[in-house]
Homo-oligomer: A and B are copies of this chain.
Amino acid sequence: MKNTSRRKFLKASALAGVGTTIATGAVAASTAAAPKKELFVHHVYFYLKNAGSAADKAKLMEGLEKLSKVPTIRMVHIGTPATTNRDVIERGYSISWLCLFDNLEEQEVYQKHPIHLKFVDDYSHLWEKVIVYDSVGPKRA
């Protein structure tokens, strides 16, 4: 390969992300024996004391926005019950708080994090109960 051709190839590779792909492939091959990556799913359903209060709901949403800053959280979703309404669907909660963590340990860091402790202090008067589902399973591509 002439020097200019090689330079062109390198440029094209960088632009297309080809260099990145090769590097990732090499890493994957060298860690083939490592255990599969897990994902820790932490799902909390909040039942407000005043379920009909838009103000209380907005207040809790505000608190959850602050809570979402805990650094070990990989992905977060704040939701409210969808319009779907079959017998098997639970719709009595006011807010759904879904958090994904890399593993149990990262979730425990979240539980003890000052932002989380302050969230409980500042907002727990709003809810009557919470139901939590923690589940673990392989991370998918």
Contacts and interface: CB of A to CB of B under 8 A. Distances in A.
A114 interface: no
B132 A90 contact: yes
Given A15-B14, A15-B15, A88-B130, A136 B80 contact: yes
Given A43-B43, A77-B39, A90-B133, A84 B96 contact: no
A137 B41 contact: no
Interface in A94-124: 96, 98, 100, 104, 107
Nearest to A108: B84
A140 to B, nearest CB: 7
Contacts of A45: 133
Contacts of A50: none
Interface in A1-47: 11, 14-15, 39-41, 43, 45
A79 to B, nearest CB: 3
Q: Give chain A's interface secondary structure class.
A: strand
Q: How large is the interface on A (under 10, 10 to 19, 20 to 34, 35 or more residues)?
A: 35 or more
A81 B135 contact: yes
Given A11-B11, A77-B139, A79-B137, 8 more contacts: A15-B15, A77-B100, A77-B137, A79-B136, A80-B136, A82-B136, A88-B129, A90-B132
A-B pairs with lowest CB-CB distance, top 3: A79-B135, A79-B137, A96-B135
